[in-house]
């Protein structure tokens, strides 16, 4: 998701998205350990999206 799309989400939706991404990241790490991962960039994409969501949540918290 892009930053503009994430800013439109509520805090609960962002937390749910973070949880989904953490589960995905967990599974990707296991795939990488077993050499079953075909797209290694998915790890980086998931980590960056988690960081992006956390940043937007912190911005919303500081505005309030």
Q: Is the dihedral of CA 30, 34, 39, 43 positive or negative?
A: positive
List, for residues 32-58, the tens digit of each pLDDT value. Answer: 999 999 999 999 999 999 999 999 999
The C-alpha torsion from 14 through 19 and 21 to 24, rounded to 10°, is -160
Q: What average pLDDT does the structure give for the chain?
A: 94
pTM: 0.90
For domain 3-63, give its CATH number from 1.10.20, 3.30.310, 1.10.287, 1.10.3470: 1.10.287
* CA separation for the pair 43, 27 (Å, rounded): 10
- At 2 the pLDDT is 87
List, for residues 3-28, the tens digit of each pLDDT value. Answer: 889 999 999 999 999 999 999 999 99
Half-sphere exposure of 11 (CA within 13 A, CB side): 6
């Amino acid at each position: 998701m892009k930053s503009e799309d994430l800013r439109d989400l509520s805090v609960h939706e962002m937390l749910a998205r973070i949880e989904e991404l953490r589960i995905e990241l967990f599974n990707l790490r296991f795939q990488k350990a077993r050499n079953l991962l075909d797209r290694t960039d998915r790890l980086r994409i998931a980590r960056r999206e988690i960081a992006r969501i956390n940043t937007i949540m912190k911005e919303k918290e500081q505005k309030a």
